[in-house]
């Protein structure tokens, strides 16, 4: 099937803008740490700039690759990701008590980030292939959920409970859109929550995070509480308009991971409530465009892939902002396209490239209609019919 239009320009420019903005965000959030640990305040900025460039290249590359080419290869992509997850447990680099990084010569990356989007592709392909029997527990639901369970179990073993949980949420989201019977999903979801709860209690640091979140302070939870307190101080310092670009005080060794998982609180400090809210609005726009691409995708595979990618970006943005604001227990999920790092940013940009390629196969991609997000999600359950009136682009 040949593309009938160019990629969604508004989505492309929005993600590109976030990647470029992250250079300023990361520089001001990491300058003090970089100067002390790496010699110059620009060292981490230069490292991040390389990852931004690679992310942009990945997005452009996958925009030009016909997404249909992935449909018959998703099983091998998924198996490759599982192999890498096994390898990281055996020979991976251990950092802060976890094996999450796999070194390949001078390069290193997190296989969990690859597995996340590999699962999106494979679950989408399975749901598309099993549309006629999607209500069959043994032939449809069980084969799909077993893939998710295998990936989540290996990631949880690293340990990386937050990413493992995200994998289940993404899988359930795609199955919901594919109209997998709710009774199967609810039953499995209850078991997953129970199993995840038991697993969470097996590690003291996870227990401490939950205790800190509910306000139970002990000597063991002081570190977690300190991090959240510093994030709250950053937001408080920012007020409505912020203290100004490069004027963050909390990033000067007060706030741990100020350039990574907690960069959103530094943004809130420097750009104020208006800047922090604007970033959320930008992600809201990305999510709305992704949902529109999913709704108008020309086939089931494209629809499920587009929704899975959009849901992944949405979960990461929501969880990261909630953690920074003290509305959720501390997790290790970065802010998409913004936090310092490489693997997450590059794979997320590549996934957006696939999303953009799907948009190229839509004859007329409408502007987002002025309806609620709830109505928009419900509309995904039913693909547009030929009689559905087109909305002017």
**Mean pLDDT in order along the chain per 10 residues (393 residues):** 73 97 95 88 93 96 96 95 94 78 79 95 96 92 94 91 92 95 92 81 71 64 76 94 92 88 95 96 97 95 97 96 90 91 91 97 61 52 48 34
Phi-psi region at 98: left, alpha or beta (left = phi > 0; alpha = psi -120 to 50): beta
388 inside domain: no
The number of domains in the chain is 1
In total, the chain counts a number of residues equal to 393
200: containing domain: 9-379
4 inside domain: no
Q: Does an H or E element contain 250, and which?
A: none
45 inside domain: yes
Token pair of 196 as six digits: 């995840």
Give the residue from 264, 241, 382 showing the smallest Cα distance to 322: 264
What is the pLDDT, as a whole number, of residue 393? 33
391 inside domain: no
Predicted model pTM: 0.88
79 inside domain: yes
What is the pLDDT, as a whole number, of residue 238? 94
What is the pLDDT, as a whole number, of residue 375? 57
Q: What are phi and psi of 381, to 5 degrees?
A: -65, -20
Distance CA 22, CA 41 (A): 16
355 inside domain: yes
1 inside domain: no
What is the pLDDT, as a whole number, of residue 223? 66
384 inside domain: no
Reported for 76-84, long-range contacts at CB under 8 A and 24+ positions apart, including other chains, are: 77/118, 77/121, 77/122, 78/118, 78/119, 78/121, 78/122, 78/147, 78/151, 80/118, 81/111, 81/114, 81/115, 81/118, 81/119, 81/151, 82/115, 82/150, 82/151, 82/154, 84/111, 84/114, 84/115
Token pair of 198 as six digits: 């038991």
What is the pLDDT, as a whole number, of residue 363? 73
What is the pLDDT, as a whole number, of residue 334? 92
């Amino acid at each position: 099937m040949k593309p009938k239009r160019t990629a969604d320009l508004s989505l492309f420019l929005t993600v590109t803008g976030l990647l470029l903005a992250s250079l300023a965000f990361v520089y001001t959030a990491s300058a003090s740490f970089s100067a002390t640990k790496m010699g110059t305040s620009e060292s981490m900025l230069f490292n991040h700039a390389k990852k931004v460039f690679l992310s942009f290249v990945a997005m452009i590359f996958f925009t030009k690759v016909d997404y249909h080419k992935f449909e018959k290869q998703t099983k091998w992509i998924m198996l490759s990701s599982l192999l890498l997850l096994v390898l990281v447990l055996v020979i991976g680099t251990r950092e802060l008590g976890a094996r999450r990084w796999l070194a390949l010569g001078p390069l290193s990356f997190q296989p969990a980030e690859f597995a996340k989007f590999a699962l999106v592709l494979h679950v989408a392909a399975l749901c598309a292939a099993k549309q006629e029997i999607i209500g069959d527990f043994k032939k449809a639901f069980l084969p799909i959920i077993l893939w998710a369970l295998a990936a989540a179990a290996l990631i949880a073993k690293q340990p990386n409970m937050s990413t493992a949980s995200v994998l289940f949420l993404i899988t359930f989201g795609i199955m919901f859109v594919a109209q997998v019977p709710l009774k199967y999903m609810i039953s499995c979801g209850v078991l997953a929550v129970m199993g995840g709860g038991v697993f969470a209690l097996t590690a003291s640091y996870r227990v401490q995070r939950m205790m800190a979140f509910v306000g139970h302070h002990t000597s063991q939870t002081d570190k977690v509480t300190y991090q959240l307190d510093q994030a709250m101080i950053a937001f408080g310092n920012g007020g409505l308009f912020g203290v100004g670009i490069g004027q963050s005080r909390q990033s000067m060794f007060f706030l741990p991971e100020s350039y990574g998982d907690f960069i959103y609180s530094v943004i809130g400090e420097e750009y104020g409530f208006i800047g922090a809210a604007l970033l959320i609005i930008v992600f809201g726009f990305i999510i709305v465009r992704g949902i529109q691409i999913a709704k108008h995708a020309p086939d089931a595979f494209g629809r499920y892939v587009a929704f899975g990618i959009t849901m992944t970006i949405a979960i990461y943005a929501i969880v990261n902002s909630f953690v920074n604001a003290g509305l959720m227990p501390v997790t290790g999920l970065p802010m998409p396209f913004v936090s310092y790092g490489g693997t997450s940013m590059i794979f997320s940009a590549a996934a957006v490239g696939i999303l953009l390629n799907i948009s190229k196969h839509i004859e007329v991609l409408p502007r987002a209609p002025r309806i609620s997000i709830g109505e928009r999600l419900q509309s995904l359950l039913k693909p547009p019919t030929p009689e559905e009136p087109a909305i002017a682009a």
